Structure 1
């Protein structure tokens, strides 16, 4: 199928944009969701024509002139999101200027020019901000809204004189207008794609530092900027690291990081020189932020700053190569975090994200990392693009070596700066730098869907070590497992304690590996390659030696045992037996895997005696660990122990640990007052403790929590209190949380997150609520969220009826060219229902012999 792209006969080279929001927008009593715009676009006509087609949606074009004289008839196409300017004469080849006057809409959801509302001690306030990826610059200005149509931009805005304005570049000039506003004009940007353009206006403040030739600033709502001090210091360190790693200095004079209250379908957006974050991803609120928040802030900053090179300086040619942006930035976030905070073990933590990608990749609804994309709404901002993409990059770096990989990346940056690329351009540079042939490996993992499964068929001990016979097939949880598929897989194998694993390339047929040392032998040593391992031989020896494996290999063994057991290819007792081998001293990240999986099993059960029996076992696994960690942070504990405490508090509460729930409720009562006493719930445990208290809240506790959420004026804390409300197990209170979500008390963008939180425990209730209130929900979502939000609410359902309703919803409500991404939720729920019928009886049987 042909891509839905604009004609190639005209190239934009520069946009001069002037935006005038309605003067009443910032008035507290009036929300005027409109703006006026004017743009002059310098174009190069390479083939004579009488028509100019460009992208525009939800814009009203009032007038279009060519070279200041010739007026055009304007024909819009809402389906294709285009406007065609039809002139009365032929436009000759050469340079021309289009002048367009238009008006547009300010959105409630995070797309185009949108509003972020938040509470303060002096009342509710508003921030104007933009979000243009993937195809929403066309909501802001008529343009060639495609990544390869790079141009320079000059942005000007009429803003209230008491507001701070931010764009990609520093301010060039400011002058006074007649209506208590000022004209703010920014310097011209480098050549870049439309989706990287940015504008923000609001009651903001700025703190700054300097790194080399670059001014780095943290911009946040008034009174909050100092909460970004950790982020600002981290950005300065990261910029120095990236300048050195990429070999190309950051090219803009400034780098702003903007913290917007609220939420969206994303954490942050890498606009060049003006990165947008939602504030819980950037700020560390002293009353609310936990250690996991602190680690998250660093990781997200590392990701978005990596984009300033991979994505902004060098951009994918079209959305089918989106992974070049996102996969690389996801890989770099872990590499950079490991550079500065090795004790966090971020590569190990990244396995949780990778498992989500592998679960998606194990079904017939998956897609290759690089896939055909016809139109912009098909761009796949999902775990395959981000997390599998990261795994591929890590695998290739491990295969060619870190220094050769870095040399190839530097050559890629220098060759393609300010240009657009496809995947093979990166592989070419890496092959030149390393002298190793990687294209077959890379192509197999990026152009083929699915996960390789390496079967260990036999082990034979000899004088030279252990000979292993392995075979490759496809791992899947549905009929796609029977589809013939092979990959060229770098298989690393080692005996326990061996320093250097053996590398063999496996491709389909039976392959023999000679591994120095003695059994047991662990495949995928270090977990650096994207595949699963099924041990038909040697598994019991690995289980018995679990405590001697490195944490990465422990985690790999647990993840594979769970995934393969969930699929029914081995007994689930393999995984449950492994949990009995964990000790209170097992690595803290490995314990998080156990918590996550135990909660996943728990979610399969209906309430009743069977679930109660499983919960008793799960609690027994976790209580000894929590006894050693406790409620309060110790001076000697590691950061990851502090993070584990958060997961243990919420996990044990979900598993009906009475002591944890009662203690959480006692602490909440002391905290809530009146007056509020923050000392009783320090930031390190406030959020998990509130969730634990809310899980079994009665009407009285729920009411106190709701009153506290309404009265809190700090936007950060307000969001967390409303999300805690949505964690209740009581169905009537969950329904009340859903009603609150679409009311005026929480921020508009917090409501959808509350609905998602309710769906964790009450999936069917949230699903039917969403169907009933679809228009109200959709106005709070951007277009990409609208495709997935409602179907995603079914993830924890146990109802075949909901599966039928979901299939009907996709047929009736989702556009045909977007159904493929939505249908993965049908595959997910179909598999979940199969697992409930197959796995739970096996868990019940195992429990009877392990009480």
Structure 2
């Protein structure tokens, strides 16, 4: 899954009984007379139990949400259940080691219409799981969350049988649900026998809710008709919401899936469809689709979907590739780009891994409601519509790149994650970090002209430096015993796991060479195929490749990489070019912050250093200790030195003052002598070293002076990313006006450059990076008040309003919409809202949704915030990001913060403690905080909501407090110097 970020009941009678025959390949269903009689009885009770579910559900909802008569909004805190400390197995979050599943046979029937009595959408199901007893035990624990079970013929919630003839299964004496730790608990009258196989059969009902987790529903409108999709998101711990299962990644099994669905709908799952037959249940004519048995796999990779979607397909080397989406989207050709790129990317990874794709098909489906960006379900990958569908008339260059990279990310997981799976979630970083690294390699294969591999520096390396430089960061790999609860697992889906993981693996691949790296990777996948591994297993195989090729390293792969994996943070490497001394130190944005996390290596790393001297690439050096001297790194005269070539090392670099001066001179006089990727690095390092008080802030600002003659995207983007911090700190102060004047002067030549290149904005630049840079040039020119730019975008937007024909190029729409709405008033906002609600293209809706937050009218922003609580206005998947968009607006920031504080218990209840987006929400609404009053509010917010909790955003609260403390200090120390610098810089002549 790529970063973005996841957000009870008696069964109705599923009217055919299940009796599973081992090895039946999903065809072992038959109706026996005896069971048929039982089902009639169960069916009669079904309606009553569903009504009971409704009552229970309503009671829970009432407890969690009470409405204030004054504002119509939820005000109360949800109940908090604290389990009594216990040593009983059912009070622990990890499964015992006594049982191991081998095989599941699962039938599910999702209802795509609301029950007229209960007003609920439900699904019913039957499951048989076959498992082996590894240790004698009289207890069966199987994960179950928000499922209600039918009482079966034995008076219990499950039936237990032995697989082997002649073996008698124990009797279930009690069966109950343990809600806190999410188990179905079955206690037996005697032990299961070690080495024997048993089966547990259950019949259950769940709610097909709109909560974006487990088996859930997604709704959309087509030709005025409301339609429902039943779909899934299991990762990390929500398979247990769909059916009772051993829901841990190491508990791999094979699955026979059958789906019951309405005529006119299509059913999909991980396996290939074997057959679809007509059946009659509860007096309804239905279809039953049976799927081919899956490979041995983890529960979090399961998927099953019922919709009335259409698809396009192709075949490559006997692998069927299908793109599914809403019928109008398929008819409009929006799946064509994904279909055309999937095959080449799949073939690239087969070669990269030296392993054939292990399944007969690769389905990819675009969903209207989906909390993450995409999910790597084996054989049935789910996506947000914006991550899979491309329409040239509406989708920008960045939309296209996102589709290529996310497809590559998910296909990379088909081997790394699905074929070989982490043993436990504490190693999530290896799964997601690896896919986040090789997605750039796969996208490069799909679009070789883009130079997309360079963009990892902006998209991952520089992004995660900001988080990993905090004292509240965390190591890549956690201890297994520290990650137990679902919320703790969800918290790991953060920038550290994804972007730091990608960054250190890229560094590893570089110093090993790609040939050695892939050789070790290939033997690792071959040894652990269809099994589970821990991250050190990969180190072992990479070491085997190192030994086989004679690659020279200063220490073992294990010893080098553990310095990057087992301690948080990263070093700043300081090079003294006069003496040749090179030293390292743990880099912290706030050097006064209190680091409480112990490091097994004393915050020292084994650092690979690639460098150049006056444009000539030099041989690699290794810094293995705190400080060392390398004579080759001395320079004299006009020579200059630049370390961390191509920014492949996961560290920042500082220099002596004389070398900084020489680098600044090169930027001013011949900036192309330094690689563009390193020009981006120089500014990012300088600004962050200044924030950490390692170098003066004016030195960092001096790196931007040459931008008046810079035309490349990466250095400009790096500068803008860092100047965003200055906007956050100063857009409410006197500094703001002078900063605007300076940046307007710097960007005007770039704006004119693209005006000329595009024939007065009549065509699109050819280069991928140039298209990005054109957007940034217009955005900054308008943001800083360049009248020509503001008149231009407002005229484009007005033409759209006047003619109802949108001729704005998709690349430019986001910045044009935002600036026009900011300059306009209610009329412009309402026009954009109308277009947002009418948009049938997800990428267009996304551009408008973000731009609506750009208005300067507080009442419009407050109304927009209220819309985030209403799924018919703003989809649940988009609620938290919409709040963050509003908070990014200086006028909306305090409004969004007040809104989140007032509604936290409701937001938390609605979106669930496991939602991946909570950390983004908390960071987003607090990133501008830089006063003692705001710090006090933030601490109060943490205290006030301690009982409600913060779920996956728990760490983000501490990071926000730490960041606010650092911001307060930084402003106190830098405000006057920054103000004077901008004043002086504005007096200097331009080009």
User: Normalization by structure 1: what TM-score?
Assistant: 0.94
Q: 8 Å contact 1:362–1:477 — kept in the other structure?
A: yes
**CA distance, structure 1, for counterparts of residue 228 and residue 885 of structure 2:** 25
Relative distance call for 1:512 and 1:23 in structure 2 (3 A) is closer
Relative distance call for 1:496 and 1:727 in structure 2 (3 A) is same
**CA distance, structure 1, for counterparts of residue 746 and residue 219 of structure 2:** 43
Deviation at 1:398, TM superposition (A): 1.2
Find the partner of 2:133 among 45, 50, 55. Answer: 45
Secondary structure class of the residue paired with 2:574: strand
Find the partner of 1:170 among 269, 272, 292. Answer: 272
Aligned residue number for residue 757 of structure 1: 885
Q: 8 Å contact 1:120–1:714 — kept in the other structure?
A: no
Find the partner of 1:507 among 609, 616, 625. Answer: 625
1:708 partnered with 2:835:
yes
1:835 partnered with 2:964:
no
1:20 partnered with 2:109:
yes
Aligned residue number for residue 534 of structure 1: 654
**CA distance, structure 1, for counterparts of residue 342 and residue 762 of structure 2:** 27
Matches within 5 A, 1:329-368: 329-352=435-458, 353-368=460-475
Deviation at 1:66, TM superposition (A): 0.2
Relative distance call for 1:87 and 1:829 in structure 2 (3 A) is same
Secondary structure class of the residue paired with 1:449: coil
Aligned residue number for residue 212 of structure 2: 110
Q: 8 Å contact 2:935–2:964 — kept in the other structure?
A: yes
**CA distance, structure 2, for counterparts of residue 833 and residue 284 of structure 1:** 44
Find the partner of 2:314 among 176, 193, 209. Answer: 209
Aligned residue number for residue 408 of structure 1: 520
**CA distance, structure 1, for counterparts of residue 655 and residue 779 of structure 2:** 34
Find the partner of 1:156 among 239, 258, 265. Answer: 258
Aligned residue number for residue 774 of structure 2: 645
Secondary structure class of the residue paired with 1:183: strand
1:67 partnered with 2:197:
no
Find the partner of 1:795 among 927, 937, 941. Answer: 927
Find the partner of 2:732 among 607, 614, 628. Answer: 607
Relative distance call for 1:288 and 1:182 in structure 2 (3 A) is same
Secondary structure class of the residue paired with 1:74: strand
Relative distance call for 1:765 and 1:342 in structure 2 (3 A) is same
Deviation at 1:256, TM superposition (A): 0.8
Q: Relative to structure 2, which stretch is displaced further, 828-837 or 188-197?
A: 828-837
**CA distance, structure 1, for counterparts of residue 262 and residue 302 of structure 2:** 21
**CA distance, structure 1, for counterparts of residue 357 and residue 781 of structure 2:** 46
Aligned residue number for residue 524 of structure 1: 644
1:387 partnered with 2:499:
yes
**CA distance, structure 2, for counterparts of residue 720 and residue 26 of structure 1:** 36
Secondary structure class of the residue paired with 1:43: strand
Deviation at 1:450, TM superposition (A): 1.1
**CA distance, structure 2, for counterparts of residue 298 and residue 183 of structure 1:** 35
Q: Relative to structure 2, which stretch is displaced further, 302-311 or 373-382?
A: 373-382
Deviation at 1:131, TM superposition (A): 0.6
Secondary structure class of the residue paired with 1:66: strand
Q: 8 Å contact 1:327–1:393 — kept in the other structure?
A: yes
Q: 8 Å contact 1:263–1:750 — kept in the other structure?
A: no
Relative distance call for 1:72 and 1:663 in structure 2 (3 A) is farther
1:785 partnered with 2:916:
yes
Secondary structure class of the residue paired with 1:706: helix
Deviation at 1:49, TM superposition (A): 2.0
Secondary structure class of the residue paired with 2:389: coil
Deviation at 1:103, TM superposition (A): 1.5
Deviation at 1:798, TM superposition (A): 4.1
Aligned residue number for residue 455 of structure 1: 574
Matches within 5 A, 1:665-744: 665-673=794-802, 676-678=804-806, 680-743=807-870, 744=872
Deviation at 1:633, TM superposition (A): 6.1
Q: 8 Å contact 2:368–2:385 — kept in the other structure?
A: yes
Q: 8 Å contact 2:114–2:121 — kept in the other structure?
A: yes
Q: 8 Å contact 1:172–1:185 — kept in the other structure?
A: yes
**CA distance, structure 2, for counterparts of residue 738 and residue 120 of structure 1:** 26
Q: Relative to structure 2, which stretch is displaced further, 450-459 or 361-370?
A: 450-459
Secondary structure class of the residue paired with 2:632: strand
Aligned residue number for residue 79 of structure 1: 180
1:576 partnered with 2:685:
no
Deviations 1:5-62 (A, max 9, x none): 10010011111111112352499x9973322121100010122222101211111233
Q: 8 Å contact 2:348–2:445 — kept in the other structure?
A: no
Relative distance call for 1:795 and 1:188 in structure 2 (3 A) is same
**CA distance, structure 2, for counterparts of residue 839 and residue 414 of structure 1:** 55
Aligned residue number for residue 294 of structure 2: 189
**CA distance, structure 2, for counterparts of residue 23 and residue 291 of structure 1:** 36
Deviation at 1:705, TM superposition (A): 1.8
Deviation at 1:714, TM superposition (A): 4.3
Relative distance call for 1:640 and 1:72 in structure 2 (3 A) is farther
**CA distance, structure 2, for counterparts of residue 72 and residue 274 of structure 1:** 39
Deviations 1:338-360 (A, max 9, x none): 34434433233222222221111
In the alignment of these two chains, the number of paired residues is 840
Deviations 1:211-240 (A, max 9, x none): 212111111111213212111111100111
Secondary structure class of the residue paired with 1:154: strand
Deviation at 1:635, TM superposition (A): 6.0
User: Normalization by structure 2: what TM-score?
Assistant: 0.81
Q: 8 Å contact 2:612–2:645 — kept in the other structure?
A: yes
Aligned residue number for residue 261 of structure 1: 368
Q: 8 Å contact 1:109–1:779 — kept in the other structure?
A: no
1:808 partnered with 2:926:
no
Aligned residue number for residue 310 of structure 1: 416
Deviation at 1:776, TM superposition (A): 4.8
Secondary structure class of the residue paired with 1:176: strand
**CA distance, structure 1, for counterparts of residue 808 and residue 257 of structure 2:** 46
Deviation at 1:530, TM superposition (A): 0.6
1:88 partnered with 2:192:
no
Q: 8 Å contact 1:291–1:639 — kept in the other structure?
A: yes
Q: Relative to structure 2, which stretch is displaced further, 806-815 or 570-579?
A: 806-815
Deviation at 1:4, TM superposition (A): 3.5
Deviation at 1:789, TM superposition (A): 5.1
Relative distance call for 1:450 and 1:413 in structure 2 (3 A) is same
1:245 partnered with 2:352:
yes
Aligned residue number for residue 465 of structure 1: none
Deviation at 1:618, TM superposition (A): 1.5
**CA distance, structure 2, for counterparts of residue 31 and residue 825 of structure 1:** 41
Deviation at 1:514, TM superposition (A): 0.9
Secondary structure class of the residue paired with 1:365: coil
Relative distance call for 1:324 and 1:386 in structure 2 (3 A) is same
Deviations 1:328-387 (A, max 9, x none): 111101222334434433233222222221111111111111112421422311111111
Deviation at 1:395, TM superposition (A): 1.2
Deviations 1:713-765 (A, max 9, x none): 44543343233212223322211211222232333323332212101112221
Secondary structure class of the residue paired with 1:785: coil
1:374 partnered with 2:483:
yes
Q: 8 Å contact 1:281–1:296 — kept in the other structure?
A: yes
**CA distance, structure 2, for counterparts of residue 767 and residue 59 of structure 1:** 36
Aligned residue number for residue 382 of structure 2: 276
Deviations 1:55-113 (A, max 9, x none): 11111233211018845522222221222112334333310110011121223232112
Aligned residue number for residue 25 of structure 2: none
Q: Unaligned 5+ residue runs, structure 2?
A: 1-84, 151-156, 163-168, 548-552, 596-601, 987-991
Relative distance call for 1:196 and 1:597 in structure 2 (3 A) is same
1:11 partnered with 2:83:
no
Q: 8 Å contact 1:763–1:797 — kept in the other structure?
A: no
Aligned residue number for residue 36 of structure 2: none
Aligned residue number for residue 227 of structure 2: 125
Relative distance call for 1:317 and 1:730 in structure 2 (3 A) is same
